[in-house]
Amino acid sequence: MPASPKTTSSIKGPNARPFYAKHNAEQLKEALRRMWLIRRFEEMAEDSYVRGLTHGTMHLSIGQEATAIGVCMDLTDKDYITSTHRGHGHCIGKGAEVRYMFAEFFGKEEGYCRGRGGSMHIADPATGNLGANGIVGGGLPLATGAALAIKQRKTKDVAVCFFGDGANNEGAFHESLNIAGVWKLPVIYVCENNQYGMSVSTARSTAVKDVATRAAGYDMPGVVVDGNSIADVNEAMMAAMERARKGQGPTLIECKTYRTKGHSRSDRNRYRSKDEIEDWKQRDPIPAFEYDLQAHGVMTAAEAKAIRAGVEKEIEEAFAFAQAGTNPTPDSLLRDIYTAGSAA
């Protein structure tokens, strides 16, 4: 993997960035490992789809990994996230095991949703992951509600809501942010602005240049960060978490990023140029972070190689585990529609 010459951040001395000052080498390396895990998970997922091993559709977040990990790396299992249709990265960021994610892809009982949900619905409520969503904007009210529950139980946890640039034009976005603004809820809205909602660019869909501008209408800070820089994302996130934990209310963080793959399998990329895609591929967040960690002596080249090899092994084992999983039986069709024992 060629090191990207484009990034450097000061990590030591008086000008050290908070991102490097507040995380130790193990945490930073783990962040890198998870970014690789997302990348390789999605590449394998795509491959298995092309080979006809999985059905349905899937949305890849390749190129957006810095946002997922920069946001999630300091969360605990008590903090909540809501995710989107493009949610594999969020899920891995929140600590999901890829074997159960693959199992879900293959529609197996071992999957996170026991084969009922597929790629668009992966969730792990036990670790605060309230799930991906098939409805654009569907998670916005849900995260806001989770923040309300946190406030009601008087803990210092936060709720994080991932959503796309496209989702910011749904009514649910505006209604949710207003409620959170009025009630000062501990929620952090993370807009992954990858420039397009399916085929429609933000310039064609959104009346303001930056989604973050809209925060002003709901009395919360709105910040724009480079979504391909894990340090930038994470520093905005740390500030937002502090604000939320102090009871000062919500924050909107807009991460400018790009998906280098199509929207989904049916995409023929007619709405953007090859040059644009190539340009963004040069700004791949993973080699950039890897470069930084090595340039500043946090990690050696040998360690970087070992991290990648470890990811490779994990992916292979997870894939094999999932393929050997159990198919649901038809007689379980009506399971879990209602709570067992409730009147139905």
Ligand X SMILES: Cc1ncc(C[n+]2csc(CCOP(=O)(O)OP(=O)(O)O)c2C)c(N)n1
**Least distance from ligand X to the Cβ atom of residue 254, Å:** 12
Of the pair 167, 231, the CB lying nearest Mg ion is at 167
Q: Which is nearer to Mg ion, 197 or 222 (CB)?
A: 197
Sequence-distant (6+) residues with CB within 8 A of 263 are 59, 196, 198, 199
Question: Shortest approach of ligand X to residue 193 CB, angstroms?
Answer: 7
Which of other proteins, Mg ion, ligand X, none is residue 248 near (CB under 5 to 8 Å by kind)?
none
Does position 194 bind Mg ion by CB under 5 A?
A: yes
Beta bridge partners of 198: none
Q: Mapping DSSP to helix (H, G, I), strand (E, B) and coil, where does residue 107 land? A: coil
Interface with Mg ion, residue 325, by CB under 5 A: no
Residues 148-167 that bind Mg ion (CB under 5 A): 164-166
Given the rule CB under 6 A, which residues bind ligand X?
Answer: 84-86, 134-136, 164-167, 194, 196-198, 263
Cβ 54 to other proteins shortest distance, Å? 8
Nearest-angstrom CA–CA distance, 121 and 306: 32
Please give the DSSP secondary-structure letter assigned to residue 22: S
How many C-alpha atoms does 172 have within 13 Å on its Cβ side? Answer: 17
Judged by phi (left if over 0) then psi (alpha if -120 to 50, else beta), residue 21 lies in: alpha
Query: Site residues (CB under 8 A) for other proteins?
Result: 55-57, 104, 107-108, 113, 115-118, 120-121, 133-138, 166-167, 169-171, 197-200, 204-206, 266-268, 270-271, 327-330, 332-334, 337
Closest CB 121 distance from other proteins, rounded Å: 6
Q: Among Mg ion, other proteins, ligand X, none, what binds residue 86 when CB lies within 5 to 8 Å by partner kind? A: ligand X
The site partner of 306 among other proteins, Mg ion, ligand X, none (C-beta below 5 to 8 Å per kind) is: none
Give the start-end residues of each E strand in the chain.
Answer: 80-82, 159-164, 187-193, 196-197, 200-201, 222-226, 251-256
Query: At its nearest, how many Å lie between other proteins and the CB of residue 80?
Result: 20
The answer to whether the beta carbons of residues 261 and 249 sit under 8 Å apart is: no
Separation in Å, CA 112 to CA 55, 105, 116, 131, 314: 17, 9, 9, 10, 17
Give the residue closest to ligand X by C-beta: 164
Q: Cβ of residue 192: shortest distance to Mg ion, in angstroms?
A: 7
